[in-house]
């Protein structure tokens, strides 16, 4: 626990609490170390279940300790970090005796306290062993779940799954090697929220960002490289890389300022198309950034939403609306950058509607963009259907399709898109970082004095 905090800054609550009132009871802290310390010089509430004491189980006494901590977190808007290793409820926990004085609990119990804190201050769960029943519940109510490869989640006497499985379903955000890396990641995540400005230098390849995108428009590339070249060197913390893989979400710094970045991933199996998982991932990330007042940058290279029987079975009809609604209700600045394609409703999930409560502060595009209601090859099959069907050979049909697509691509090229004011500016790729940084300097972070909204639970 003390490794999470700055040196000699931890103040413990309930150190003498035990499983019983017997002074000889050696159940230190009743299996829960809890208190308040400093991280990066700012107050943070922390709690750690101790599996060495009664298997780290939850009892009436240590639940009251947690309730007091959550009261402090909500009252003072302090982040909350919980190490969730433990065996769930203590099955033989006796009923508490009648109090001889008012017991020092808080306004909220454990789970409604976490729900109250959600969207008001960051909540982090760290798992390195067993997180059973209520311990897993703490994790699933937290903004960020960090887990080591050895962590396991499940129910008493029931099915238990490993952290890698939870990562693939979006229930674990960051997988790490060991507890030391988990603590370092938690401190890094807290720093985005607690420290307004740090020194930030451009990445070594920032001026060569255009080289990441192949000349062949059909060839994929790794959007992670674009994000890394855009952000301050070494500042990117990706969240949820194992699920919704056609969408990237990350916190980073831009000239020392915290920003949220989400982007399509052309190198994914879906080539950046938005399925139900990617839609949920984007929406939840936008909600998180908006709740904690981080400006958002989006990178667009998107063939649209997924369609077809499989997408329908996964609920795309319902899930597709979530990022659209989240963007409509955001209050933080948004800058979007279209790199290559943007078809159908997909680009609206990446930058919002053209007319809404909030439109992007800046919509940029690279000269390589192409846009349309659907893919240009798909449009050719509709517009040139008769000629394609009448073609004598497959090669002739493909030539008709590709010829139409190329003509339309030229008509919607970056230069023409700029001249028709489809974007605020068409920029050389190397100018993306300084242009957006200049815009964000004009809209400083404003901390909302009230809770805007909760962040959708995972």
Residue 385 lies in a domain: no
Residue 124 lies in a domain: yes
C-beta separation of 74 from 107 below 8 A: yes
- The domain tally of the chain equals 2
Any alpha helices (H) in 172-294, and if so which ranges?
A: 179-194, 223-230, 276-291
Residue 143 lies in a domain: yes
Task: Find, among 323, 314, 238, 321, the residue nearest to 275 by Cα.
Answer: 314
Region for residue 293 given its phi and psi (left: phi exceeds 0; alpha: psi -120 to 50; beta: otherwise): left
- Sign, Cα dihedral of 24, 30, 32, 36: negative
Task: Find, among 14, 20, 124, the residue nearest to 65 by Cα.
Answer: 14
Task: Write down which residue in 194, 229, 255 finishes a domain.
Answer: 194
Q: Is residue 183 located within the same domain as residue 324?
A: no
**Could you give the angle at the alpha carbon of 99 between the alpha carbons of 98 and 105, nearest 5°?**
125
**Whole-prediction pTM value?**
0.90
Residue 380 lies in a domain: no
**Other beta carbons within 10 Å of 427:** 21
Q: Is residue 127 located within the same domain as residue 273?
A: no
Q: Is residue 6 located within the same domain as residue 123?
A: yes
Q: Read off the CATH number of the domain in which 77 is found.
A: 3.90.226.10
Q: Is residue 189 located within the same domain as residue 325?
A: no
**Other beta carbons within 10 Å of 215:** 6
Q: Is residue 219 located within the same domain as residue 91?
A: no
Q: In angstroms, how far is the first alpha carbon of the chain from the final one?
A: 25
Which residues neighbour 290 within 8 Å (Cβ) at sequence distance 6 or greater? 296, 326, 329, 330, 331, 332, 452, 453
For residue 409, the model assigns a pLDDT of 62
Residue 377 lies in a domain: no
Interhelix angle 394-411/376-383, nearest 10 degrees: 120
Residue 404 lies in a domain: no
Q: Is residue 160 located within the same domain as residue 229?
A: no
Task: Write down which residue in 194, 226, 247 finishes a domain.
Answer: 194
How many alpha carbons fall within 13 Å on the CB side of residue 338?
32
- DSSP string for 360-393: -SEEEE-TT-EEESS-HHHHHHHHTHHHHHH-SS
Beta bridge partners of 298: 262, 336
Q: Which helix (H) or strand (E) holds 439?
A: helix 432-441
Q: Is residue 426 located within the same domain as residue 292?
A: yes
User: How is residue 99 annotated by DSSP?
Assistant: P
Q: Is residue 137 located within the same domain as residue 228?
A: no
Separation between Cα atoms, residue 127 and residue 109, nearest integer Å = 21
For residue 382, the model assigns a pLDDT of 58
Separation between Cα atoms, residue 450 and residue 356, nearest integer Å = 23
For residue 353, the model assigns a pLDDT of 75
Q: Is residue 189 located within the same domain as residue 217?
A: no
Residue 269 lies in a domain: yes
Separation between Cα atoms, residue 339 and residue 302, nearest integer Å = 9
Q: Is residue 243 located within the same domain as residue 306?
A: yes
Distance, C-alpha 123 to centroid of its chain: 13
Task: Write down which residue in 133, 167, 194 finishes a domain.
Answer: 194
Sheet holding 130-132, edge to edge: 130-132, 152-154, 160-162
Separation between Cα atoms, residue 16 and residue 35, nearest integer Å = 13
Q: Is residue 220 located within the same domain as residue 112?
A: no
Separation between Cα atoms, residue 427 and residue 365, nearest integer Å = 6
C-beta separation of 34 from 19 below 8 A: no
Exposure of 293 by Cβ count < 10 A (0-12 exposed, 13-18 middle, 19+ buried)?
Answer: middle
Q: Is residue 171 located within the same domain as residue 210?
A: no
Ranges of residues in the chain with a pLDDT under 50 are none
Separation between Cα atoms, residue 283 and residue 321, nearest integer Å = 9
Separation between Cα atoms, residue 181 and residue 147, nearest integer Å = 10
Q: Which domain holds residue 36?
A: 2-194
Separation between Cα atoms, residue 47 and residue 32, nearest integer Å = 7
Residue 450 lies in a domain: no
């Amino acid at each position: 626990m003390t490794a999470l905090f700055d040196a000699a800054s931890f103040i413990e609550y309930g150190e003498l609490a035990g499983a019983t009132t017997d002074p000889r009871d050696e159940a230190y802290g009743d299996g829960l170390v809890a208190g308040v310390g400093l991280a990066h010089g700012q107050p943070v509430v922390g709690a750690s279940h101790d599996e060495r004491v009664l298997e780290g189980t939850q009892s009436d006494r240590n639940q009251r300790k947690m309730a007091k901590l959550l009261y402090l977190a909500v009252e003072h808007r302090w982040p909350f970090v919980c190490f969730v290793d433990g065996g769930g409820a203590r099955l033989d926990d006796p009923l508490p005796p009648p109090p001889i004085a008012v017991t020092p609990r808080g306004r909220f119990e454990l789970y409604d306290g976490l729900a109250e804190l959600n969207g008001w201050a960051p909540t982090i769960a760290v798992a390195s062993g067993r997180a059973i029943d209520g311990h897993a519940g703490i994790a699933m109510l937290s903004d960020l779940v960090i887990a080591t490869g050895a962590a396991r989640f499940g129910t008493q006497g029931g099915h238990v799954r490993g952290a890698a499985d939870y990562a693939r379903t979006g229930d674990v955000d960051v997988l790490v090697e060991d507890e030391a890396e988990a603590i370092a990641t938690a401190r890094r995540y807290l720093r985005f929220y607690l420290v307004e400005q740090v020194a930030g230098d451009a990445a070594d390849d920032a001026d060569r960002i255009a080289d990441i995108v192949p000349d062949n428009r059909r060839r994929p590339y790794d959007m992670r490289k674009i994000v890394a070249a855009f952000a301050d060197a070494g500042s990117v913390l990706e969240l949820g890389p194992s699920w919704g893989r056609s969408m990237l979400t990350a916190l980073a710094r831009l000239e020392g300022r915290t920003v949220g970045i989400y982007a399509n991933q052309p190198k994914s199996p879906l080539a950046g198309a938005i399925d139900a998982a990617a839609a949920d991932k984007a929406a939840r990330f936008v909600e998180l950034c908006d709740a904690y007042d981080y400006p958002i940058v989006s990178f667009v290279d998107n063939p649209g939403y997924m369609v077809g029987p499989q997408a329908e079975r996964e609920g795309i009809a319902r899930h597709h609306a979530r990022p659209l609604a989240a963007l409509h209700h955001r209050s933080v600045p948004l800058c979007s950058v279209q790199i290559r394609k943007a078809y159908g409703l997909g680009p609206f999930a990446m930058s919002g509607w053209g007319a809404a409560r909030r439109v992007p502060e800046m919509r940029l595009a690279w000269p390589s963009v192409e846009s349309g209601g659907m893919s240009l090859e798909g449009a050719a099959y509709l517009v040139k259907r008769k000629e394609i069907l009448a073609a004598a050979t497959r090669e002739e049909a493909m030539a008709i399709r590709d010829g139409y697509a190329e003509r339309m691509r030229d008509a919607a090229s970056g230069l023409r898109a700029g001249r028709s004011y489809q974007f605020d500016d068409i920029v050389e790729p190397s100018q993306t970082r300084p242009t957006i940084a200049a815009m964000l300097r004009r809209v400083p972070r404003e901390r909302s004095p009230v809770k805007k909204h909760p962040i959708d639970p995972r």
